[in-house]
Structure 1
Amino acid sequence: MKQLSIRNKIVLAAISLLPSLTCIPAKSQEVIKLDMDKALEIALSENPTIKVADKEIQKKKYAKKGSYASLFPQISFSADYNRTLKKQIMYMDMDLGDAQIPGMDNSGMQDGFEVGRDNNWNTGFNASMPLVNASLWKSLSISAVDVELAIEQARSSKIDMVNQVKKAFYSVLLANDSYRVFKESYDNAMENYLDVKKKYEQGTVAEYDLIRANVTVKNSEPNMLQAENSLTLAKWQLKALLGMDLELNIDCEGRLTDYESELFGDFLSTDTSLINNTNLKLIDLQSKQLEKTLIMQKFDFLPTLSMTGLYQWSAMNNDFKFKDYQWNPYSMIGVTLSIPLFTGGSRFYKTKQTQVSIDQLKLQREDTERNLQLAIKQYMDNMSTCIKQFDAAQKGMEQAERGYLIAQKRYDTGAGTLLELNDSELAMTQAKLNFNQSIYNYIIAKSELEKISGEQKF
């Protein structure tokens, strides 16, 4: 009885734990549904590269605001203390005539006398403000170009990220469709094997057909497993781009056949201009920045005018009785004119270096534009080829499916052989893979073309 009661307690405890145990796998197996728009939204909000680009824009905007501060008065407070170790000796020259003063002759003081006190204190405010500084004014426009450059670099990062996410998403769809094809091939092989096995047991087919059908099943299984592994790897790559935990389960909605309509309609209306190309825009902004820098360097040859002022208090004493100190105020305001005359040619050679950099960027832009035009022609040619491949693959798939049905009926009626059935099934599998691959190649080429044209939407 005692053993029975212990056993009952164990059973009751196990039953009480069942709800919590069943909840764990349900939570871990929760699947996140993703379509293309949702994937792009996550990537543009969670990917570290995009966040860094946005922070760079924010940093440049702060730098621009900070550059305007140089136009306003710069005010500072200072305080200093000096301890006199050896006092200064002062001499005085003067014409005394017939007068006689101890320690002095007609030419003046001979021994001199010490001046100053042991402790010297100074404290007060200093202010300065530029009045005329052409180089400084031009530097403000360069700061504005810095912000434009950062914004374009962020746009470039987003365009590149959108392209990567699209290709990763398309890779998942291709891997998923390929898995379906191989899974269907495996199911057909298994169905044929079971049918042949049944016929073999009835004595209507030879043992060779049974062995051949079994081999076909075994040969189909590795392809299915490889396709499943490719699907897992493609999902990992997509989750990494989206900044998601690799252990999360995701499911990409849609199939490659959903993009069939794009093969003909989008090809004719594809934008092949380079007006919005981010590489050319970045080069243009860099050239604009250098041109403004060149003007600023030329302005360094011009005079500058600034205003300064101060208000200070000073005290001198031989002890540290602060309450007895006498603080003497001192104030001053002035204008400073600075005219650059000679610096050894450093300004001149700086302008020459900047001009060379501008010429380099012009050559770089020409080469970049030429390569981009070549890439556009290549992608357009690839898209045209993919359309032809799609048309051929679609017809081939239709014929292969029809051939498989005929071979299956022939084998069922005894008019055909198992070899014919296997060959037709293999041809159908290859035709479906070619069909999916042609769509995938087209949308990948289209995504690359959108990246070059700068027409990626985000």
Structure 2
Amino acid sequence: MKTTIKQKSGVLAVLLAVFVVFTIHAQQVVELSLEESLRYALENNVDAKNAQLETLIAKATIKERRSEGLPQINGSVDLTYNAAIPVVFVPNEGPFADPSVELDVLPLRFGVPLSSAVAVQANQMIFDGSYFVGLQAAKTYKMLTEYDRLKTEVDVKEAVKKAYFSVLVNEQRRQLIDANLERIEMLLGETEALYEAGFVEKLDVSRVKVQRNNLKTELDKVIAATMISVELFKLQIGLPSNQEVYLTETLEDLNDRLEVEDLLIMDGSRRVEIDQLNTNLDLVKLDLKNNLVQYIPRLSAFATYQRNAASERLGDIMDANRWFTGAFIGGSLSIPIFDGLAKSARIQQNRVQIKQLENQSFFLDQSIEVEKFQAKANLKNSISALVVQQENMDLALEVFEMTKIKYQEGVGSNLEVVEADSALKEAETNYFSALYDALIAKVELEKALGIL
């Protein structure tokens, strides 16, 4: 009796622990539809966040480039201690002659131990062709980062949709295997009862057990595949791995035939890849323009205001009467003459790059049309295969049920039931493979049409 009480206490403790764990996990469950998953991914996916940050870098680049055309003002403060004042040599003759020195030159020190200077210098670019081209290039680069962000969002949406479908398909497959296992367990119980009554052989029981064990192995594989697909889904949308997720939509909700028919007759919209390529072409043209303006002279102006002082002792350097003013104003004109044909070589490179991008643009247009045609053909074939596999699964289920009834009534064999169950399992596997292929084909057509 004591052992029984201890066992009951242990079971109660385990149930309580399971309840606490379940309660904790239940508080962390995130429920997501497909649209909610896409919105969450665009805010939390690493690639999507980095693409958004890249646009901020592009905006800062424009500001940086614009600042080069504004006045550049710098200040400086110098304090110099001449530990050994440099010597200047002059001829030992004329007004500097010193009869006491036997050398033909006199070593003279011009300078004081301490000197200081405070200066402010301003530079202003007046004309530089590269500056204006650079401004255009910075703005064009910002446009490119925007298109890159859109392309990244398309890729993220594609990956999230495929991951979402993978979770749903694996979960549906698990439910069907559970149903199959339940049927086989019932069949095994009935077969064992018939064996004990002497109506069937031991071999019949073994056949059903083998089928039951195979289903359990298949169920373990599907459970593992479901767990993996869930983790991949959380990674794609940027959800922490310790968070539980529940998908609120089913395959039936997402398998809209009318939507598929609309996709098959749709022409689509402009693909972001075209904008990316065109923007890269604009950048190369701006680089060509920049290399051309390198032949034009550059003009700039400068101004300097400074105050200088000197003394024998450090304490006297700050006396106001020791400071004297100096100011300079001027301009600079830089004229390119010869650079060894470096600019000419860069210009030739730019023109070849433009030709390459123009060829890529033509090929991209053709590739997109082929991609649309191929995606529509794949979706049509996937839908047709799905219809066939749906019919096969229904027929296989009907055959299994009829075979089981015949076996129960004694007019069929146990082997027929096992074979019918195996055929049903194969039909279900083929159906879900076709369903997944159809969903993926739909996503790929949406991407090809530029509406993802």
Q: What residue is the counterpart of 1:295 in the other structure?
A: 289
1:41 to 1:246, Cα distance in 2 relative to 1, 3 A: same
Kept in 1: contact 2:386–2:435 (CA 8 A): yes
Structure 1, residues 311-349: CA drift from partner, whole Å, max 9, x if none? 111123333322445111122323333322222222222
Query: Structure 2: which amino acid aligns with 1:281?
Result: D
CA 1:17–1:399 in structure 2 vs 1: closer, same or farther (change >3 Å)? closer
1:131 — aligned with what? 126
Amino acid across the alignment from 1:80: D
Aligned to 1:71, what secondary structure does the other structure show? coil
Q: Tell me the CA shift for residue 272 of structure 1.
A: 4.9
Letter in 1 for 2:62: K
- For the 8 Å contact 2:77–2:118, the answer to whether it is kept is yes
Query: For each residue in 1:124-145, what CA deviation from the matched residue of structure 2 results, as whole angstroms up to 9, or x when unmatched?
Result: 2111111222221110011111
Letter paired with 1:199: L
Give the match for residue 5 of structure 2. Answer: none
Matching residue within 58, 74, 84 for 1:60: 58
Residue 235 in structure 1 maps to residue 230 in structure 2: yes
The residue aligned with 1:328 is 324
- Structure 2-normalised TM-score? 0.85
SS in 1 for 2:339: coil
Q: Per the alignment, in what secondary structure is the counterpart of residue 254 of structure 1?
A: coil
For 1:395, which of 391, 395, 418 is the aligned residue? 391
The answer to whether the 8 Å contact 1:407/1:420 transfers is: yes
Task: Give the match for residue 383 of structure 1.
Answer: 379
Q: Give the Cα separation in 2 of the matches to 1:156 and 1:90.
A: 75
| C-alpha contact (below 8 Å) 2:264/2:376 kept by paired residues | no
Structure 1 contact 259–439 (Cα < 8 Å) conserved: no
After superposition, give the CA deviation of every residue in 1:178-236 in whole Å (9 maximum; x if it has no partner).
11222211111111111222333344444433333233222222111211111111112
> Would the alpha carbon gap of residues 417 and 309 (structure 1) be closer, same or farther in structure 2, given more than 3 Å must change?
same
* Matching residue's letter, 2:423: A
Conserved? CA contact 1:77–1:124, under 8 Å: yes
Partner of 1:408: 404
Q: Is the 8 A contact 2:281 2:357 kept in 1?
A: yes
- Aligned residues of 2:85 and 2:112 also touching (Cα < 8 A): no
RMSD over equivalenced CA pairs, Å: 3.2
Q: What corresponds to 1:440 in structure 2?
A: 436
Task: Pick from 28, 36, 39 the counterpart of residue 25 of structure 2.
Answer: 28
1:7-58 residue CA offsets vs partner (Å, 9 max, x unmatched): xxxx99x999997884244213554333212222232222222222221111
Please say if residues 307 and 323 of structure 2, whose CA atoms lie closer than 8 Å, have aligned partners that are also in contact.
yes
Give the Cα separation in 2 of the matches to 1:451 and 1:264.
Answer: 14
Distance in 2, Cα, partners of 1:101 & 1:413: 142
1:319 matched residue in structure 2: 313
How far apart, in 2, do the equivalents of 1:48 and 1:242 lie? 9
Q: Is the 8 A contact 1:145 1:285 kept in 2?
A: yes
Secondary structure at the counterpart of residue 125 of structure 1: strand
What secondary structure does 1:401 align onto? helix
Following the alignment from structure 2 to structure 1, what is the Cα–Cα distance between the partners of residues 356 and 23? 61
Distance 2:115 2:89 in 1: 17
Whether the 8 Å CA contact 1:134–1:299 is kept in 2: the answer is: yes
Which consecutive residues of structure 1, in runs of 5 or more, have no partner in the other structure?
1-10, 92-99, 104-109
Q: 2:183 aligns with which of 184, 188, 191?
A: 188
Alpha-carbon distance in 1 for matches of 2:112, 2:255: 95
Q: Deviations over 1:283-314 (max 9, x none)?
A: 22111111111111211111222221121111
Distance in 2 (CA, whole Å) between partners of 1:344 and 1:434 is 69
TM-score, scaled relative to structure 1: 0.84
Q: Distance in 1 between matches of 2:278 and 2:271?
A: 12
CA shift, 1:68, in A, is 0.9
- Partner Cα separation in structure 1 for residue 113 and residue 326 of structure 2: 20
Are 1:147 and 2:142 counterparts?
yes
Aligned residues: 430
Q: Is the 8 A contact 1:181 1:433 kept in 2?
A: no
> What's the CA shift for 1:259?
3.3
Aligned residue number for residue 96 of structure 1 = none
Deviation, structure 1 residue 373: 3.9
Of the three residues 207, 215, 222, the one matched with 1:220 is 215
Q: Greater CA deviation, 306-315 or 327-336?
A: 327-336
Residue equivalent to 2:3: none
Shift of 1:120: 3.3
Match of 1:6 in 2: none
Relative to structure 1, the CA distance from residue 314 to residue 181 in structure 2 (aligned partners, 3 Å threshold; closer, same or farther) is same
For structure 1, which segment, 405-414 or 436-445, has the greater mean C-alpha deviation from structure 2 after superposition?
Answer: 405-414
Q: Which residue of 1 aligns with 2:4?
A: none
Residues 390 and 24 from structure 1, CA distance in 2 versus in 1: closer, same or farther, beyond 3 angstroms? closer
- SS of residue matched to 1:122: strand
The match for 2:86 is: 86
Identity, in percent, stands at: 21
1:101, 1:249 → 2: CA distance?
Answer: 98
SS of residue in 2 equivalent to 1:175:
helix
Counterpart-to-counterpart distance in 1, 2:19 and 2:394: 46
Over 3 Å counting, the alpha-carbon distance change for 1:425 and 1:318 in structure 2 is same
In 2, Cα distance between equivalents of 1:421 and 1:19: 43
Q: 1:234 to 1:227 in 2, by over 3 A?
A: same
SS in structure 1 at match of 2:310: strand
For residues 415 and 214 of structure 2, what CA distance do their matches in structure 1 show?
14
Stretch moving more, 18-27 or 305-314? 18-27
Q: Distance in 2 between matches of 1:249 and 1:142?
A: 46
**CA 1:424–1:258 in structure 2 vs 1: closer, same or farther (change >3 Å)?**
farther
Partner of 1:5: none
1:272/1:323 CA distance change after superposition, 3 Å = closer
Residue 255 in 1 paired to residue 250 in 2? yes
Distance 1:127 1:401, change over 3 A: same
Tell me: CA distance 1:378–1:17, structure 2 relative to 1, closer, same or farther (3 Å).
closer
Q: Which runs of 5+ in 2 are unaligned?
A: 1-7, 98-104
Residue type of the partner of 1:50?
Answer: A
